[in-house]
Amino acid sequence: MKKHFFRSLPVMAVIVMSCASAPKEDHSWIRKGIDVASAQLKLTAEEIADSAKLPRCISVGYELDFLCKQLEHQSATFKDSLHPNPSPELVGKRQLVGVSDWTSGFFPGSLWYTYELTGDQALKQYAIAYTNLLYPVREEAGTHDVGFMMNCSYGNAGRLSPNDTIPTVLKQTADNLIARFDTGIGVIRSWDFGTWNYPVIIDNMMNLDLLFNVSKLTGNPVYKDIAGKHAYTTMKNHFRPDYSSYHVVSYNSDGTVELKETHQGKNAESSWSRGQAWAVYGYTSCYRETGDKAFLDFAGKIADLIMSRVKTSDFIPYWDYDAPDTPETPRDASAAAITASAFIELSTMVPDGKHYLDYATTILKNLSSDTYLAKVGENQGFILMHSTGSLPHGSEVDTPLNYADYYYMEALERYMKLKGLEYKNL
């Protein structure tokens, strides 16, 4: 036996040497992203502590000629829709909003995710304080965005610091959301403004997670059932044959489609980048919560469309897939972060998911580079740079956005969980 054992030593040595020489995967980009996020969020939380408001973006202006070139039409056709340029003293400054703003839940949500990743108790205390600001939102009945507002804040609080109040708050919020559901049309109404009869935007797919969450908290299937019906009606009417999405679909009162158009994209038939991200994220969530394979198949089709349409080498898309392919065209880091988060989850649901994970990883590495990741103490306390809110309105063009930060942190959390990584070992 000894003779055979020693005869095998050279082979074993080769194996050991091979294992020893295998390069260790570099996760320094993750550590960098989390450390920057932690520092920036703390800085912001301290600086705005007495305001009872939340950070949304950095105020920026626009040039009309530039918007016209991006939209490839004459300014006279949309001048009246433009947001006014901010006064000079506000340009470059942090814009704060009240709790009724649709983005109010993202800052506390970013604090929760960064606390989850680091275990930093200071972040937890900030997260609790800024989440509590949103308590009055539980009574908001005039918007579908309560899913964004409350599930990102109170929903994450319920995961990471549960108490008896949170389920009640989320249920009251969800009750207001399902009150906007029309049983005849089969969807949740999005907006209460404008000339549309019954407008529904693709963004509304993101508010369904609140309903799924409350259905589990209460054991009441009605919330889940309404979410599923909304998703099916949207799947039927919001998408083109190539699985790109319209931004706005308005319905007649009998459930037929009144019109299909955009509000934030280049034109009615273009593919607004963040809209495609909302779509793939929403249908991935729907499959997670329902197990309905139709949702999984649909999410995969949208994901494949995204991968085929994004023109940029770093996978951070232009603000619209049909925007001019020029160096001046603004990117949308928020669309990239949402896509990355969705793709990471989607990659775990399909047999051939590695290409989705690889795509998401490339996005995250690029968002964690100096091109998009802020330097500590700069960028008015935001984590990421170069997002676009609504270019056709001259609103938030090439600026940090709080929801880009939120989905970046969520994507990092999902990536680390999938890879079995811990912050302390990075």
* 219/305 Cα distance (integer angstroms): 36
Q: Which two tokens stand for residue 38?
A: 């932690």
In Å, how far are 324, 332, 354, 411, 414 from 357, measured between CA atoms? Answer: 28, 20, 5, 11, 11
Catalytic residue (one of 101, 203, 209, 332): 203
Structure-block tokens of residue 374: 């802020």
Going by the DSSP 8-state scheme, the letter that residue 91 receives in this structure is T
Secondary structure (DSSP) of 251-263: E-TTSSEEEEE-S
Measured CA to CA, the distance from residue 264 to residue 277 in angstroms comes to: 14
**In angstroms, how far is the first alpha carbon of the chain from the final one?**
44
CA angle at 260 for the pair 191 and 329, rounded to the nearest 5°:
90
Distance CA 101, CA 99 (A): 5
Q: Is 332 a catalytic residue?
A: no
Given the residues 26, 50, 80, 145, the one annotated as active site: 145
Is 225 noted as a catalytic residue in this protein? no
Q: CA–CA separation, 319 vs 333, rounded Å?
A: 9
Q: Residue 301: which region, alpha, beta or left (left: phi > 0; alpha: psi -120 to 50)?
A: alpha
Task: Pull the structure tokens for residue 100.
Answer: 């009724």
Strand partners, 251: 257
Beta strands 187-188 and 199-201 are unpaired
Helix (H, G, I), strand (E, B) or coil at 389: strand
Query: Residue 331 in contact with residue 369, Cβ under 8 Å?
Result: no
Taking the C-alpha atoms of residue 165 and residue 55, their distance in angstroms, rounded to an integer, is 25
Active site residues: 145, 203
